[in-house]
């Protein structure tokens, strides 16, 4: 989490190692740009991916509608067995929440996706989200 972060241009790459039982799972992560003008680049990154984390902002209903579009695209054009995880981020801003937990959770269940509410700011449920994805495989 960085207060001065600027929007992703294209995509950026990072790795993260997550303990899973006796094993360590190394994630190779493409952080794709969320802005609509970069939309057409996304398939290059999800094409060979085992999992996709689609993030929305719990304080912005719009972002949840956009998430649904991404999920649809992943189902239609993504790898056949891609694991989809939905993350409702910014739980530290719960007082201005626009997306009810239940609505998002029900949607996630309806498409057999992992669901977690997170706060990148407070490092809440980020590790847990990656552990869930690890176990799914
Ligand atoms: N309060 C709060 N702010 C957050 C949290 N996570 C991200 N932000 C802020 O939200 C804004 C957008 O964060 P980004 O990580 O750049 O969002 P993004 O969706 O990756 O944006 P793109 O790079 O355009 O795809 C920034 O100002 C962040 O500081 C969070 O958990 N809580």
Q: Is residue 19 part of a domain?
A: no
Say yes or no: CB of residue 73 within 6 Å of ligand 1: no
By CB neighbour count within 10 A (0-12 exposed, 13-18 middle, 19+ buried), where does 73 fall? middle
Q: Is residue 15 part of a domain?
A: no
- pLDDT for 4 equals 64
Read off the DSSP letter of residue 48: T
pLDDT one-digit tens code per residue, 81-127: 999 999 999 999 999 999 999 999 999 999 999 999 999 999 999 99
Q: Which atom in ligand 1 lies closest to the alpha carbon of residue 118?
A: 31
| DSSP code per residue over 49-65 | -SEEEEEEETT-HHHHH
Q: Is residue 53 part of a domain?
A: yes
Å from CA of 119 to ligand 1 middle:
10
Look at the chain and report how many structural domains it folds into.
1
CATH code of residue 81:
3.40.50.300
Q: For residues 130 and 18, is the Cβ–Cβ distance under 8 A?
A: yes
pLDDT one-digit tens code per residue, 32-41: 988 888 899 9
Could you give the ipTM of this predicted complex?
0.95
pTM of the full predicted structure? 0.93
Across the range 10-29, mean pLDDT stands at 92
Å from CA of 21 to ligand 1 middle:
31
Say yes or no: CB of residue 96 within 6 Å of ligand 1: no
Say yes or no: CB of residue 33 within 6 Å of ligand 1: yes
pLDDT one-digit tens code per residue, 2-13: 666 778 887 899
By CB neighbour count within 10 A (0-12 exposed, 13-18 middle, 19+ buried), where does 101 fall? middle
Retrieve residue 58's tokens. 């719990």
Say yes or no: CB of residue 112 within 6 Å of ligand 1: no
Say yes or no: CB of residue 7 within 6 Å of ligand 1: yes
3-state secondary structure of 33: coil
Residue 59 or residue 20, greater confidence: 59
Q: Is residue 37 part of a domain?
A: no
Say yes or no: CB of residue 3 within 6 Å of ligand 1: yes
Of the candidates 63, 84, 66, the residue with the CA atom closest to the CA atom of residue 75 = 84
Q: Is residue 113 part of a domain?
A: yes
Which range marks the domain in which residue 64 is found? 45-134
- pLDDT for 6 equals 77
């Amino acid at each position: 989490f960085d207060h001065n972060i600027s929007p992703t241009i294209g995509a950026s790459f990072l790795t993260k190692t997550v303990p899973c039982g006796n094993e360590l799972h190394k994630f190779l992560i493409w952080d794709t740009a969320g802005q609509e003008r970069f939309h057409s680049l996304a398939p290059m990154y999800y094409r060979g991916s085992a999992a996709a984390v689609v993030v929305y902002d719990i304080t912005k209903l719009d972002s949840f509608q956009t998430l649904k579009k991404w999920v649809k695209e992943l189902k239609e054009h993504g790898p056949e067995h891609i694991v989809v995880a939905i993350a409702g981020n910014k739980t530290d801003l719960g007082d201005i929440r626009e997306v009810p937990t239940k609505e998002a959770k029900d949607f996630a269940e309806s498409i057999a996706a992992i669901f977690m509410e997170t706060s990148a700011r407070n490092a809440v449920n980020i590790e847990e989200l990656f552990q869930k994805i690890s176990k799914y495989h």
